[in-house]
Structure 1
């Protein structure tokens, strides 16, 4: 773990220049996941798309991979049962269960807004990703991990690779 504070400015410098982010470069267990989580929190889905849509971004493929994970998450999420994690706590209140579902649906809708905005970006790589993700909707037979990984394996991200 590192003491370097991640900021939006540092992420931009890393994405477009030769700035080193210790957490990204670290080989320690969990650091990669911590970096991904921090980038997701700081940048958000719209920010991931902005980096992924910019051919000048040196870390474009990194941002595309985070963006794809967020999009494919939509197909992986199933309905949660209204029980607390611990069986000793029993069932949630109806209001808590509704609130939990509303928050999840709100996050899903925000991701879908970003996905929909991709149809207006005239970059062939972004257009390709947009069409592939939307096509997965018609292939979905379940909300499980298997479908998520099948979609990931089918994705063609070749247009995002540096030339």
Structure 2
């Protein structure tokens, strides 16, 4: 009636580490598509153990056939995340990876998604650094901020995301 507008408030969420290890900026990933942000905004983790867990309750949107990557959707926000274990690891054709989920599965925070053999990946000559990308961040969020340093899976936040209001 008077044109009063409710003040919009931005919603901020924290995404916990899906891997234990050392979180590093995407710019340090030895792959131009990830390092330059072409795949989306996010962070990367140099894993210290070969287990990728769900950082939140969500739905498995995609599992790459060679099991080196998985996409999860957070139903509360609509954000989709790509967890890509290693660089150019598609060349391993699934060797060293065990997926514990399928497309459409509902997962709980802390649930194991993929187990992988860090030493086998390194022995094959591939970097193990794992990008964590918010694939639809440009559509749904105002900002994505990464937190670097040593992280423990399921405990330490690696991303702070401010959602569009």
Q: TM-score range by the shorter chain?
A: under 0.3
Choose between structure 1 and 2: higher strand proportion.
2
Greater percentage in helix: 1
Structure with more contact order per residue of length (Cα contacts < 8 Å, sep ≥ 6):
2
Q: TM-score, normalised by structure 2?
A: 0.25
TM-score, normalization by structure 1? 0.26
